[in-house]
Amino acid sequence: MDLRRLLLRLAAARPHVLLVALPGATEARLAVEAELGRRGWPAAVSPADADVLLVAGPAGPALAAVVGRVWEQMPEPRVRVVVEVVADVSGTLDSAASQLASWTAARPEYGGPGPREQEHRGPEHGGDEHGGHGGGMEMPGGLPMADLGEDRDGLMLDRLHVALGPVLPDWPAGLVLRVELQGDVIQEAEAEVLDPGRGGSSRGDVPAAEDARHAAARHLDGLARFLGVAGWADPAARARRLRDDLLAGAEPAAVRGQVHALTARVRRSRTLRWLVRGIPAGERAVAARLADRLAALDAAVDGAPPAQPGPSRPPDLAALARAVVGAELAAARLVVAAVDPDTDLVAEERGARHA
């Protein structure tokens, strides 16, 4: 039908891209995010919202399985692409858009016998895992029932087994947080990085002795993701834009004024202070970690020598899991974003559980 073709063409000019970042492929993720920002293509927040599934980096076996499940959950028309080499980003996105625009021609069965039933299973963007009980009983959809357990007020309530990540907006690459939820309070947590240590170098192109530009870009990236989780899209977008400028070759001194304006704006926000107040996140609270990040960012663009030039250590996943127990889901997301574990540095298979 002509109308359908017209709508597909109109929509293909601005597809929603679900970016799956892999540990060790930060460089590819940053290149993709920069290109999406230039084009004004929105990042999808869930598989249901996505037209393009973009996998940044080479997926190991565990993440390949996750990507496959995410793909099954995406509504048609849909396109799946992989970016491994940074130079390919623009061409890959162009070809994805043209595949979407000519969807009817490429797939004549679309629009024929009605939409296929989409099954959604698995934990990849936080769907229920419903682990635990269920016994031999026949349950709706073959899913087991939730557990029961005492909540923090001593009431017997359902406990849902939910896996947060690895495909969540503003979430560390490859991280999975298996949590037991009562309402939206986390009762138990277990952290794991899927397919760790495949990227080789830490943080993609960032060398061990990090220069001011990369330090500033890294802090801007972390700040953008924190603000994204906190639901403050406007300064998050500005932070991303400055990050992209730096990585495209801008001198830190050239963006200093804008960075200072951004950090001042974030610091000034009484609302943000009120929202992040009193959320513990391991050794430092969320608010303190945010303040550290802002100070480090200011220092990086001011040309100060990096505060901690020592070798970066892999993140402490056990401590992260401990830090989210007892938190509400929203607070737990803030904790993870504030800690911002660098999953590129996780070397081998490791997990951590805390009850």
Partner 1 sequence: MPEPMSAPAALPLWWVVVLPFLLVAVAAAVVAADASLTARARGARADVLLPVREAGRLLVGQRRRTVAADSVLWRAGGAVLPVAAVLAGVVLPLGLRPVADLSVGVVWFNAMEVLAWAAVWMVGWGPNSALGLVGGYRFVAQGLAYELPHMFAIITAALGAESLRPTDIVAAQRGLWFVVIMPVAFVVYLISATAMAFWGPFDAPVGRDVAGGAAAELSGVDRLVFAGGRRLLLVVAVALAVPLFLGGGAGPWLPAWLWVAVKTAVLLALVLLVRRRFPTIRADRFTEVAWIVLVPLTIVQALVVALLVLNRGGAG
Burial class (CB within 10 angstroms; exposed 0-12, middle 13-18, buried 19+) of 183: middle
Among 105, 274, 283, 351, binds partner 1 (CB under 8 A): 274
Among 64, 71, 120, 151, binds partner 1 (CB under 8 A): 120
**Residue number, 224 or 296, with CB nearest to partner 1:** 224
- Is 151 one of the binding residues for partner 1 (CB under 8 A)? no
Q: What is d(CA 89, CA 159) in angstroms, rounded to the nearest whole number?
A: 42
- Is 184 one of the binding residues for partner 1 (CB under 8 A)? yes
- Is 121 one of the binding residues for partner 1 (CB under 8 A)? yes
Site for partner 1 in 5-44 (CB under 8 A): 6-8, 10-11, 13-16, 37-40
**Residue number, 229 or 296, with CB nearest to partner 1:** 229
Q: What is d(CA 78, CA 103) in angstroms, rounded to the nearest whole number?
A: 9
Q: Is 217 left (phi over 0), alpha (psi -120 to 50) or beta?
A: alpha
The count of residues interacting with partner 1 (CB under 8 A) is 71
Are 236 and 220 spatial neighbours (Cβ–Cβ below 8 Å)? no
Site for partner 1 in 330-349 (CB under 8 A): 330, 333-334
Q: What is d(CA 33, CA 129) in angstroms, rounded to the nearest whole number?
A: 30
Min dist CB 58 to partner 1, Å, is: 24
Beta strands at 52-56 and 17-21: parallel, antiparallel or unpaired: parallel
Min dist CB 32 to partner 1, Å, is: 14
Site for partner 1 in 202-231 (CB under 8 A): 227-231
Are 187 and 180 spatial neighbours (Cβ–Cβ below 8 Å)? yes
Beta strands at 175-182 and 185-193: parallel, antiparallel or unpaired: antiparallel
Min dist CB 40 to partner 1, Å, is: 3
Min dist CB 125 to partner 1, Å, is: 5
Site for partner 1 in 276-315 (CB under 8 A): none
- Is 267 one of the binding residues for partner 1 (CB under 8 A)? no
- Is 351 one of the binding residues for partner 1 (CB under 8 A)? no
- Is 116 one of the binding residues for partner 1 (CB under 8 A)? yes
Site for partner 1 in 48-67 (CB under 8 A): 48-49, 51
Residue span binding partner 1 (CB under 8 A) among the ranges 52-60, 180-188, 302-310, 340-348: 180-188
Q: What is d(CA 236, CA 223) in angstroms, rounded to the nearest whole number?
A: 7
Closest CA to 62 of 144, 161, 142, 167: 167
- Which residues, including other chains, have CB under 8 Å from residue 23's CB and lie 6 or more apart? 57, 173, 174, 193, 194, 195, 196, 197, 198, 199, 343, 344, 346
Min dist CB 182 to partner 1, Å, is: 11
3-state secondary structure of 186: strand
**Residue number, 18 or 22, with CB nearest to partner 1:** 18
**Residue number, 203 or 240, with CB nearest to partner 1:** 240
Q: What is d(CA 295, CA 293) in angstroms, rounded to the nearest whole number?
A: 5
